[in-house]
């Protein structure tokens, strides 16, 4: 049985009526052999007895920001002790505090101090959860790579029905087990996806048929494996996949390059899946160009984003490229692999009779690296994304970077 053996979990309890679920959650954590410490807010003590929690968890329950032990400052000690901080139930109040960086009690001070992963399990009335300010705070937290689990949909204590209920202890435990067993936990990955639009005038542009589906599928799979994802996307009609994904929308190749370089520090893996336009207009017209019998447009070369990433001398990530080809698929891809000094390249055939590869749900990929290659046969892009991430992890391990 998979367990949480010796995982140090700090359980932060705030003042939601869902606090009654905490007894079952603590029991499940102890059964999975986790080491639990509990921190309570003042409001939570109105709803649950501190002594009961202390007896059930078989450990001290902390609630005083000014408590010290042998000169140890408790919020510092607990912040360093935890492998993970789990806020369950998490009220709108504690969510707002963490989003704003407030530190007016022990729990919020620990969250501001810790380097451990923070996971928030919201619990509140559905109108409170769906309010603009709460959603804004949640967006801030997600952008900081804080995980948000839930809430679930259901009938609430107040009689309303909707999103806002705390996840069940069993679901939380399953998610914790998955979190601690994911191969890319604490990995940072940048993924570029979709096309770029190079403007000719305010109503016309040069682009490709790329839909972004392959890149978004990779982002979803990588996030499900525990990675922190920065998804830099050109113009696409796709929703952000669920998971720990920070999305940055761009239009042009220059904007995509800027977004990549602004976020490239401390990245473990870079996956350049976007179909970046090779050229842009030399002189963009701020006014719509009148229709003519013949129109001559001067093009200049766009920066090669993946080449610039692969040439980094400090904190260079593992670099995965994509190569869309119409002939000599593997030969052209291997040439790019060598010239751009990539770790891995994924080549696909986009010739006319295989047009669906660019904007449909299926694809076929040749994976090529310095001393090998393999074929990922025609399949749904979601399936290919799983197969691809598995191979990236294997290749990463063999390069002694995992």
158 part of the active site: yes
Q: Which of 59, 111, 158, 273 is catalytic?
A: 158
Spatial separation of the C-alpha atoms in residues 294 and 285, rounded to whole Å: 16
Cβ partners under 8 Å of residue 77, min gap 6: 69
Catalytic residues, which ones?
A: 158
């Amino acid at each position: 049985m998979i367990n949480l053996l010796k995982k140090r979990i700090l359980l932060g309890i705030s003042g939601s009526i869902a606090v009654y679920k905490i007894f079952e959650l603590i029991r499940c954590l102890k059964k999975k052999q986790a080491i639990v410490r509990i921190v309570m807010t003042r409001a939570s003590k109105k709803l649950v007895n501190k002594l009961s929690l202390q007896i059930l968890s078989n450990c001290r329950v902390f609630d005083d920001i000014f408590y010290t032990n042998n000169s140890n400052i408790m919020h510092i000690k607990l912040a360093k002790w935890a492998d993970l901080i789990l806020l369950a139930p998490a009220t709108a109040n504690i969510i707002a505090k963490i989003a704003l960086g407030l530190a007016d009690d022990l729990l919020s001070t620990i969250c501001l101090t810790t380097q451990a992963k923070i996971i928030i399990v919201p619990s509140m009335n559905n109108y409170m959860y769906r309010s603009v300010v709460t959603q804004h705070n949640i967006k801030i937290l997600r952008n900081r790579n804080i995980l948000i689990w839930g809430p679930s949909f259901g009938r609430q204590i107040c009689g309303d029905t909707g999103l806002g209920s705390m996840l069940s202890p069993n679901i939380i435990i399953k998610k914790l087990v998955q979190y601690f067993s994911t191969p890319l936990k604490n990995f940072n990955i940048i993924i570029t996806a979709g096309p770029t639009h190079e403007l000719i005038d305010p109503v016309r542009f040069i682009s490709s048929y790329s839909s972004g589906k392959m890149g978004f599928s990779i982002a979803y799979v990588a996030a499900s494996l525990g990675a922190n994802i920065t998804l830099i996307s050109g113009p696409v009609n796709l929703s952000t996949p669920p998971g720990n994904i920070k999305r940055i929308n761009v239009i042009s190749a220059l904007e995509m390059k800027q977004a990549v370089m602004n976020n490239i520090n401390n990245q473990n893996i870079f996956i350049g899946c976007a179909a970046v336009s090779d050229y842009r207009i030399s002189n963009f017209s701020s006014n719509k160009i009148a229709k003519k019998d013949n129109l001559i447009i001067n093009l200049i070369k766009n920066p090669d984003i993946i080449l610039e990433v692969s040439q980094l001398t400090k904190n260079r990530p593992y670099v995965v490229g994509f190569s869309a080809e119409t002939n000599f698929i593997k030969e052209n891809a291997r040439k790019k692999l060598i010239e751009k000094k990539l770790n891995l390249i994924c080549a696909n055939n986009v010739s006319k009779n295989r047009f669906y590869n660019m904007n449909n749900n299926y694809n076929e990929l040749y994976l090529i690296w310095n001393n090998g290659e393999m074929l990922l046969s025609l399949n749904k892009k979601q399936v290919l994304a799983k197969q691809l991430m598995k191979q990236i992890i294997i290749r990463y391990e063999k390069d002694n970077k995992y």
